Structure 1
Amino acid sequence: MIEPKPFVKWFDRKFDTNIDIVQFEDVLSRMEHFPAVLNQLLETYPKKITTIKTGAKWSVNENVGHLILLEDLWRRRFQDIKDGKPDMSPADLNNTATDQASFNEQVLNELTKSLSDERAKTIVLLKGISKEDLLKKSTHPRLNQPMNIVDFMYFVAGHDEHHMAAMRSIIENLEHLPIADF
């Protein structure tokens, strides 16, 4: 029997900040295709499933909404690095905007469309990055470690995958419950 990997809290994760800039295209592809992969995973689930909260954890809709809200921060941080700022823009570590946004009142396919639209803006920004900009670094405020553009892209792609794993876990746990009319 294969044991599942333990779910590591996002704030407990460590990140390699020595990603070779030659990996730019590979990491860009991961980021670019993420909304489509997520949509494919979620497209068949009804609102009854995607809006259920388990304990204090976010629902599927809230996870997607959180990803939408962060795209603006990601773009600001990429721009911070490109502009040579010593520190990246800070995040709201309490995720207040996500908690207050009422994502469970929204339709999931509209949320995934919005995520796709926001990510497309981020991809356009990244495709405009010069080779010189790839060498610049700014310090990530929470991790207190310098990152270049590719390091931070890797961070964002990891954040995407973290939330996809969380959503898969929610769905798998709910599918085993005797909730009528899935």
Structure 2
Amino acid sequence: MLKKPGLDEYAPYYEKYVSSVPEGDLLQILDEQMKETINLVKDLNEDQAHFRYAPEKWTVKEVIGHITDTERIMSYRLLCIGRGEMAELPGYDDNQYVKNGKFNRFSIGELSAQLSQVRQNTISLLKSLDDEALLGRGNANGTGVTARAIAYIIAGHELHHRTLIKDRYMGAESFGGAHE
């Protein structure tokens, strides 16, 4: 079973994600999280899926697309570092990715299916890495990180955005009353 990474295994920015992951079997947590996120959004109508809680914020669809794209990128980093890559891995501009992803053209079901597929691939990748690989260190976006830390960042990132969907989107008076 994976143990939470130490503070020296990732940049301070990621502490909010890593610390939010509950104790337990990370593979099981990742599987359950994906189901919870999909259950949260699966019954949204189109108006709700296009809802923004503020004018400059992403829609619910864009948030789901963002979670999926970020997990794709983080899983690539997990693979690279787990396999011993020593080259610095690039960062990315999440706002640009959301803009160019054009997620609002997809149904919430299509976006949920993509998230599920990506998550299953992440879980399969994690299962393929042994303890030595998980403790491997690399450099992503200009900072040192272990493969193990990336796995926890993935889990914490999804949890962070699911909480935002519940609180700021579904909790808004103008959301439409679904999922109260």
> Which bin holds the TM-score, normalised by the shorter protein?
0.7 to 0.9
Task: Note if contact 1:73-1:89 (Cα within 8 Å) is conserved in structure 2.
Answer: no
C-alpha distance after superposition, 1:70-113 (max 9, x if no partner): 23212210112112223552231243121122212211011111
Q: Distance in 1 between matches of 2:136 and 2:64?
A: 30
Structure 1: tracts of 5 or more residues without a match: 1-10
Contact kept? 2:75, 2:122, Cα under 8 Å: yes
Question: TM-score, with normalisation over the residues of structure 1?
Answer: 0.76
Percent identity, aligned pairs only, is: 22
Deviation string 1:121-180 (CA, Å, 9 cap, x unpaired) is 1111111001221221113325x2x3222211111111111111221121211xx12869
TM-score of the aligned structures, taking structure 2 as reference length: 0.77
SS at match of 1:15: helix
Q: Highest Rg: 1 or 2?
A: 1
Instruction: Find out whether 1:163 has 2:173 as its counterpart.
Output: no
Asked whether the 8 Å contact 2:38–2:112 carries over to 1, the reply is yes
Contact 1:31 1:157 in 2 (8 A): yes
User: Are residue 39 (structure 1) and residue 38 (structure 2) matched?
Assistant: yes
Q: Distance in 1 between matches of 2:51 and 2:122?
A: 29
TM-superposed deviation, 1:62: 0.3
Partner residue, 1:153: 151
Q: Deviations over 1:22-76 (max 9, x none)?
A: x7x7222222222211011112221111112231110110000112222321221
- Structure 2 gaps of 5+ residues are 1-10
Match of 1:137 in 2: 137
Q: In the alignment, what sits opposite 1:102?
A: 102
User: In structure 2, what is the Cα distance between the partners aligned to 1:67 and 1:167?
Assistant: 12
The CA distance in 1 between the partners of 2:75 and 2:90, in whole Å, is 12
Aligned residues, how many?
Answer: 163
